[in-house]
Chain A
Amino acid sequence: MAAPLTVVLIVAVTVRACLFRSSLADLIAERVEVVSPLNAWKRVVEGLALLDLGVSPYSGDVFHETPLIIYLFHFLVDYAEITFMVSSLSSHIVLYCLLLSLIVTSCCLFVDRYLLNPFTVLSCVAKSTCGLNNAIVALFILSTIKKNALLSAIFLALSTYQSIYPVTLCAPAVLYLLQRQYIPVNVRWASFWWFLLQYAFMYLGSLFVIICLSFFLLGSWDYLPSVYGFILSVPDLTPNIGLFWYFFAEMFEHFRLFFLCVFQINVFFYTIPLSIKLKEHPVFLIFMQLAVISIFKSYPTVGDIALYMSFLPVWSHLHRFLRNIFLVSCVLLACSALFPVLWHLWIYSGSANSNFYYAITLLFNVAQILLVSDYFYAFLRREHHLTYGLYLKRKDGSEATLVLK
């Protein structure tokens, strides 16, 4: 709580406003690390222009946003900068409220990490709709923490509607709400199934309503293959910071479908094991799920990374158990600096080739995976110490070391 909320907000707004007005805004909006074919602002404008020309935005392969976004920006296209700034600020305020209720110790020096995170600033200045998605996820988490099941289901439905992957956040939401209502997570209890059914009904009902609303907005189901088909089948191989693009650019045609299924299942299948292991700690589960989605989704951007990184202050008490934090932070910083350099060398100078950029992508993702698994290790270790004591002794009384076996 070193800097009060208002000061942070003012600083953030100033930084963003300066960047919006400078020539850097166009440069940042073109960067592949910050925008992807799914959430680039250029494509939103293109979709609106196609609508003006009388052509369906989904008839081509340029526009992959949901109809509600078209509807929203149809009215707000002239106020785009303000919209994104507001969504960024509101995410921050939501996260602030969230973190305040979650932080166990009083050490919360970096509560404002979301807004001043350079990744978030870049994402906002580029007017990537990732910012809107982050705002919705933040609202979902806040409503879950505030025990409002209906709002939580609605926001989760909105978030899933925009990009499919947040459906895995159902599990932690249900677990959290069950925990708060003192319903044990046991398949034999009727109240467990009853609550699960209620939540599923609210979630699926709101999702159904949103999808039907989208159908009525544009009068056709064209958007389903354009949005969800695009996310799942990855036809566009534009480079980004994820693992999919080069893998599928170099894939043998025969195995393309197989590896596509493997990579997509990879995002979803950690849900069940993680939920079983972390059923007592749904908040950490939310963090883990967000991290897994951001790393393994088909078109990740730095905006997704900013979202799960803003949760790290909640677990500042885990720092003493982290093993690789120095290495990971060095690698992340180095990669973030090298991305634009190697992109320039490949695309503009022609003195490097795609392998250079791909290598940095790999390194960046390895660092993120190490970060997430390190935090998981630290969390589990702390839980172990909470149960068995901090200073463990062996049978002969000497200092013991803990290993995973």
Chain B
Amino acid sequence: MRYVHDLQLLVTLTHPKDDFQEELVIRPLQSGDVYASFQFRTLWETDFMKGNKVSHYRLFPKSLGQVISKFSVRELHISFTQGYWRTMQWGQPFMPSPPGAELWVWFQDSVTDVDGTWKELTNVLSGIFCASLNFIDSTNTVQPSASFKPLGIGNVTDHRFLRYATLPREIVCTENLTPWKKLLPCGSKAGLAVLMKSEKLFHSSFHSQAVHIRPVCQDSECTTTSWELRQTLNVVFDLHTSGQGKREWSLFKMFSRTLTEACPLASSSKIYIDITDNPQVSFLHNILSLKIQAVVLGDRRTFSVYDLTEANTFGSMRSLNLLIRWKSSEGDMLRPLLHAERYVAGYGLQTGEIHTLMYNYHPFRSFPILLLDSVPWYLRLYIHTLTVTSKGKDNKPSYIHYQPSKDRVRPHLLEMLVQLPPNSVTEVTVQFERALLKWTEYTPDPNHGFYVGSSVISALVPSMVAMDTNNTKERPLFSSFFPCKEESSYFVRIYTEPLLVNLPTPDFSMPYNVICLTCTVVAVGYGSLYNLLTRSFQIEEPNPRLAKRIANVIRRLRGVPPLA
């Protein structure tokens, strides 16, 4: 026993400190759906950037550690989402993400060729996550100038080192979940990760898995920094498809598994159930639960906490299954203060208009929002048609950064700082023209349309409740992702729907025909001009009649002079 204890002491002294926490938050939603959010956080006090190569990985996954050191990454955020988050029905998510795949990376300022490094990084991540991130190239990568500021520590804000790309067409499936689960210290064998069974997770309205890597401070003076890896999985189970219409959810019904033990490598393993709206939570056996209050997303909510590291949580059956039941009339959801929608207007395949609507539901406060729009080059935006109106009046943005697209090289980038008046709808419209592409540039299903990535709206929303600004206190993971600088507002990032736009298509069966026909027309021009240039007018000798011609041929054969 003492030998094991000495060995543990030796291990902790010789190797850098790392720490793993896991949590699951279950929140019943007003619409009858249930929102489950897993978060796994690994903190490791090490320095990937210095010369000594890190070789002993314990809790931190080696593949990601190597990615950080090889590509000099300062922050990496990647998410894979299936489905669209319905803000008005479900409230704000803990970790927002757009449909499809999204990747944004801050590089260290020691990187000389950011574009080359970005290309290599996307290919390596494509291999790690079994996703087709290799489709990320210069035609869908942008460098935002104001949005996507670093979420971890760091002084560098030169946006030359930031790259942002989305693939709205990317589909998320089991193939992406498996390598994601492999990055966890306990894999899917122990702890909360045993609940992640793909046949239930993908049978949902919304599924999002993400990896966030950033450097964080360990204490308030920031004397030591450590690398934080957060893996999050958000899923919303639908009332009707998975719940059979009843507002009665259990862990078994959601995940088809029950919990048997916490991950032995975790320092904390907790389940939080949101009981603010007084749902009935019952168990197979009696457990005392701790009740805490946490302020998250501008709202003070009450949670029941169940600690999986305590043995008595599991009871004699050695398994934990919760049952949550609630009525639809109890409690009313806090209406989210910020909401956005986007759609394409117009008809035909020549032109169109993108409309982005932003709703500010705060009764008396107005706040500024930063809108980021990245539109592919084949929808040619006309920035002189950009209009921003609030309550019917023109609302001039205080900051506009526009980078026009270059055909086949880079997309449009539009960033604006717009002040949203209280209790209003702000509409941003811009006209575009659809381009005809070369026949090889269309996808195999060209009539499906082309996707335009979601707009990103970042804002500091005024909070009704005082936010907790002490970032180093022990807080539940779900409330500590976005750093909180002031008490009166919280940071929110909203993604609009992606758009699906049709482009005019040429006939794909016709390349040879078109080449022949067009060259024929050019040849007709060439031929007629050639004739007129090289020939001259002469008097025509008429052709003799047929009988005479045959007679002349016979005469020639006989050797007799021909007829006149």
Write the residues of chain A forming the contact surface with B, with a CB cutoff of 8 angstroms.
Answer: 30, 42, 45-46, 48-50, 53, 55, 59-62, 235-239, 243, 245-253, 259, 263, 266, 270, 273-274, 277, 295-296, 346-348, 350, 353-355, 358, 362, 365-366, 369-370, 373, 376-377, 380-381, 384, 392, 394, 400-405
**Cα A247 to Cα B436 with chains together (Å):** 12
- Minimum distance in angstroms from A347 CB to a CB of chain B: 5
**Cα A267 to Cα B515 with chains together (Å):** 18
Cβ contact within 8 Å between B507 and A62:
no
Which residue of the partner chain A has the closest CB to B531?
A: A404
Cβ contact within 8 Å between B404 and A60:
yes
Dominant SS at the A interface?
Answer: helix
Cβ of B412: which chain A residues have Cβ within 8 Å of it? 60
Q: Contacts A46-B382, A295-B525, A347-B350 given; 7 further ones with Cβ under 8 A?
A: A246-B518, A249-B439, A273-B533, A346-B349, A376-B528, A380-B532, A380-B537
Cβ of A353: which chain B residues have Cβ within 8 Å of it? 505, 507
Residue among A60, A266, A354 with most chain B CB within 10 A? A60
Dominant SS at the B interface?
Answer: mixed
**Cα A365 to Cα B400 with chains together (Å):** 45
Which residue of the partner chain A has the closest CB to B404?
A: A60
- Minimum distance in angstroms from A375 CB to a CB of chain B: 10
Q: Which of A46, A60, A259, A394 contacts B384 (CB 8 A)?
A: A46
Asked if B311 is at the interface (CB within 8 A of a chain A CB), the reply is no
Asked if B90 is at the interface (CB within 8 A of a chain A CB), the reply is no
Cβ contact within 8 Å between A235 and B407:
yes
Cβ of A401: which chain B residues have Cβ within 8 Å of it? 539-540
- Minimum distance in angstroms from B520 CB to a CB of chain A: 8
Cβ contact within 8 Å between B514 and A347:
no
Q: Which of A61, A246, A295, A402 contacts B539 (CB 8 A)?
A: A402
Task: Report, nearest first, the 6 A-B pairs whose CB atoms are least far apart.
Answer: A60-B404, A49-B384, A373-B528, A404-B535, A250-B511, A348-B348
- Minimum distance in angstroms from A80 CB to a CB of chain B: 13
Cβ of B546: which chain A residues have Cβ within 8 Å of it? none
Asked if B60 is at the interface (CB within 8 A of a chain A CB), the reply is no
Q: Which of A53, A380, A394 contacts B402 (CB 8 A)?
A: A53
**Cα A373 to Cα B531 with chains together (Å):** 10
Cβ contact within 8 Å between B507 and A369:
no
Cβ of B377: which chain A residues have Cβ within 8 Å of it? 61
Cβ contact within 8 Å between A250 and B540:
no
Query: Known contacts A246-B514, A366-B521; is A62 also within 8 Å of B529 by CB?
Result: no
Asked if B504 is at the interface (CB within 8 A of a chain A CB), the reply is yes
Cβ contact within 8 Å between A236 and B435:
yes
Query: Known contacts A53-B402, A263-B522, A405-B536; is A249 also within 8 Å of B529 by CB?
Result: no
**Cα A358 to Cα B383 with chains together (Å):** 31
Cβ of A55: which chain B residues have Cβ within 8 Å of it? 402-404
Cβ of B404: which chain A residues have Cβ within 8 Å of it? 50, 55, 59-62
Cβ of A45: which chain B residues have Cβ within 8 Å of it? 384
Cβ of B350: which chain A residues have Cβ within 8 Å of it? 30, 347-348
Asked if B557 is at the interface (CB within 8 A of a chain A CB), the reply is no
The number of residues on chain B lying at the interface, defined by a beta carbon within 8 Å of a beta carbon of chain A, is: 52
Query: Known contacts A30-B350, A53-B400, A61-B406; is A246 also within 8 Å of B524 by CB?
Result: no
A-B contacts, 19 listed (Cβ < 8 Å): A48-B384, A49-B383, A49-B384, A53-B383, A60-B412, A237-B435, A245-B436, A250-B439, A273-B533, A277-B533, A295-B525, A346-B349, A348-B347, A350-B349, A353-B505, A353-B507, A366-B521, A401-B539, A405-B538
Cβ contact within 8 Å between A50 and B537:
no
- Minimum distance in angstroms from A114 CB to a CB of chain B: 24
Query: Known contacts A347-B350, A405-B536; is A365 also within 8 Å of B521 by CB?
Result: yes
Asked if B11 is at the interface (CB within 8 A of a chain A CB), the reply is no
Cβ of A61: which chain B residues have Cβ within 8 Å of it? 377, 380, 404-407
- Minimum distance in angstroms from B357 CB to a CB of chain A: 23
Q: Which of A62, A377, A403 contacts B532 (CB 8 A)?
A: A377
Query: Known contacts A235-B407, A296-B525; is A246 also within 8 Å of B506 by CB?
Result: yes
**Cα A362 to Cα B515 with chains together (Å):** 12
Cβ contact within 8 Å between A250 and B515:
yes
Asked if B550 is at the interface (CB within 8 A of a chain A CB), the reply is no
Cβ contact within 8 Å between A373 and B435:
no
**Cα A237 to Cα B349 with chains together (Å):** 14
**Cα A350 to Cα B514 with chains together (Å):** 21
Asked if B438 is at the interface (CB within 8 A of a chain A CB), the reply is yes
Q: Which of A239, A243, A250, A392 contacts B510 (CB 8 A)?
A: A250
Which residue of the partner chain B has the closest CB to A248?
A: B438
- Minimum distance in angstroms from B203 CB to a CB of chain A: 36
**Cα A78 to Cα B529 with chains together (Å):** 45
Cβ of B349: which chain A residues have Cβ within 8 Å of it? 346-348, 350
Q: Which B393-417 residues have a C-beta within 8 angstroms of A?
A: 400, 402-408, 412
Cβ of B537: which chain A residues have Cβ within 8 Å of it? 380-381, 384, 402-405
Cβ of A277: which chain B residues have Cβ within 8 Å of it? 532-533
**Cα A394 to Cα B349 with chains together (Å):** 63
Residue interface bits B250-284, CB-to-A below 8 A is 1, else 0 = 00000000000000000000000000000000000
Query: Known contacts A247-B518, A248-B438, A366-B521; is A404 also within 8 Å of B536 by CB?
Result: yes
Query: Known contacts A45-B384, A55-B402, A296-B525; is A237 also within 8 Å of B437 by CB?
Result: yes
- Minimum distance in angstroms from B129 CB to a CB of chain A: 31
Cβ contact within 8 Å between A346 and B504:
yes
Q: Which B344-400 residues have a C-beta within 8 angstroms of A?
A: 347-351, 377, 380, 382-384, 400
Which residue of the partner chain B has the closest CB to A239?
A: B436
**Cα A267 to Cα B492 with chains together (Å):** 58
Query: Known contacts A238-B435, A245-B436, A348-B347; is A60 also within 8 Å of B405 by CB?
Result: yes
- Minimum distance in angstroms from B412 CB to a CB of chain A: 8
Asked if B517 is at the interface (CB within 8 A of a chain A CB), the reply is yes
Query: Known contacts A238-B436, A250-B506; is A59 also within 8 Å of B403 by CB?
Result: yes
Q: Which B483-509 residues have a C-beta within 8 angstroms of A?
A: 504-507
Cβ contact within 8 Å between A249 and B384:
no
Cβ of A370: which chain B residues have Cβ within 8 Å of it? 528
Asked if B440 is at the interface (CB within 8 A of a chain A CB), the reply is yes
**Cα A376 to Cα B534 with chains together (Å):** 13
**Cα A370 to Cα B252 with chains together (Å):** 80
Cβ contact within 8 Å between A373 and B529:
yes
Cβ contact within 8 Å between A354 and B506:
yes
Cβ contact within 8 Å between A354 and B504:
yes
**Cα A405 to Cα B405 with chains together (Å):** 55
Query: Known contacts A251-B511, A273-B533, A403-B540; is A362 also within 8 Å of B407 by CB?
Result: no
**Cα A366 to Cα B349 with chains together (Å):** 28
